[in-house]
Homo-oligomer: A and B are copies of this chain.
Amino acid sequence: MNDMLLTPGTAEYVAAEIERAIHEHRLPPGSKLGEDELAEVYGISRTIVRAALQGLSHRHLVELKRNRGAFVAQPTVREAREVFEARALLEPRTARSACERMTPEGLALLRAHIEAEHAAVHAGESGRAVYLSGQFHVEIARIADQATIEAFISELVSRSALIIALYWQRRAALCESHAHHALMSAFETGDADMAEDLMKSHLLDLVTSLDLRNRASFPGTLREALGQ
């Protein structure tokens, strides 16, 4: 899709790489992100790595523990609720704006995006599928031409990928494609009311597909992996 045009060796590049790895579930929540290790992987010094990690921690994708290092974040149940609460405030009306300002190019972009989602699901690349289905929401914000809101949604979507990794309960393949298709037809017919409603219910579907009653259903810090 939108393959970063960042020059390698910069903090932004490294941060984007790590963020995508998190988003695609190649780096599960709690993973240690050693500075020396990353520095060697990308052929740079720790200075750049640290800048990248600090940036990611501002987006709540990485937790920085003093004198302990950086770890992929593990959103709590509470944070998970908050993230989707924020998305519920931002995204429906952004979908409406996007619908109102939709262009032929925008429609083509979204269609291609959905196509790529399908391809990823079909190819069994579930990580990439999660990434793409998240980016779909970011693309909508971009079409709405709201850079500020887009940045917020981008962060929330990335955090959602972590939340999904921790709390997803349905083992069924991503059924979201249906919701995204429905949104597409709203965009195609220019029905802004419907776009807003569909986005609202889509987000609601997402939260209800999570198991937010108990604590993280994932390794955690190994303390909770063994029942306290």
> Which chain A residues have a beta carbon within 8 Å of chain B's beta carbons?
50-51, 54-55, 58-59, 79, 82-83, 85-86, 89-90, 93-94, 146-149, 152, 156
- What B residues does A79 contact at CB under 8 A? 147-148
How distant is the Cα of A146 from the Cα of B50 in the complex, in angstroms?
A: 29
B82–A146 contact, CB under 8 A?
yes
How distant is the Cα of A149 from the Cα of B93 in the complex, in angstroms?
A: 16
B146–A86 contact, CB under 8 A?
yes
| Shortest CB distance A112–B (Å) | 26
Given contacts A54-B54, A148-B79, contact A93 B89 (CB under 8 A): yes
Q: How many copies does the complex hold?
A: 2
Which B-chain residue is minimally distant from A66 (CB atoms)? B10
How distant is the Cα of A79 from the Cα of B148 in the complex, in angstroms?
A: 8
A148–B82 contact, CB under 8 A?
yes
* Residue of B55, B58, B90 touching A89 (CB-CB under 8 A): B90
* Residue of B54, B58, B85, B147 touching A149 (CB-CB under 8 A): B85
7 contacts between A and B (CB under 8 A): A50-B51, A51-B51, A58-B59, A83-B148, A86-B90, A86-B149, A148-B156
A147–B82 contact, CB under 8 A?
yes
B54–A89 contact, CB under 8 A?
no
A148–B89 contact, CB under 8 A?
no
Which B-chain residue is minimally distant from A75 (CB atoms)? B148
| Shortest CB distance A52–B (Å) | 10
How distant is the Cα of A86 from the Cα of B54 in the complex, in angstroms?
A: 25
B85–A146 contact, CB under 8 A?
yes
Which B-chain residue is minimally distant from A97 (CB atoms)? B85
In this complex, which of A55, A89, A90, A94 has the most chain B Cβ atoms within 10 angstroms of its Cβ? A89
In this complex, which of A83, A146, A148, A149 has the most chain B Cβ atoms within 10 angstroms of its Cβ? A148
How distant is the Cα of A94 from the Cα of B147 in the complex, in angstroms?
A: 22
A152–B54 contact, CB under 8 A?
no
- What B residues does A58 contact at CB under 8 A? 55, 58-59
| Shortest CB distance A55–B (Å) | 6
How distant is the Cα of A147 from the Cα of B75 in the complex, in angstroms?
A: 13
* Residue of B51, B59, B85 touching A54 (CB-CB under 8 A): B51
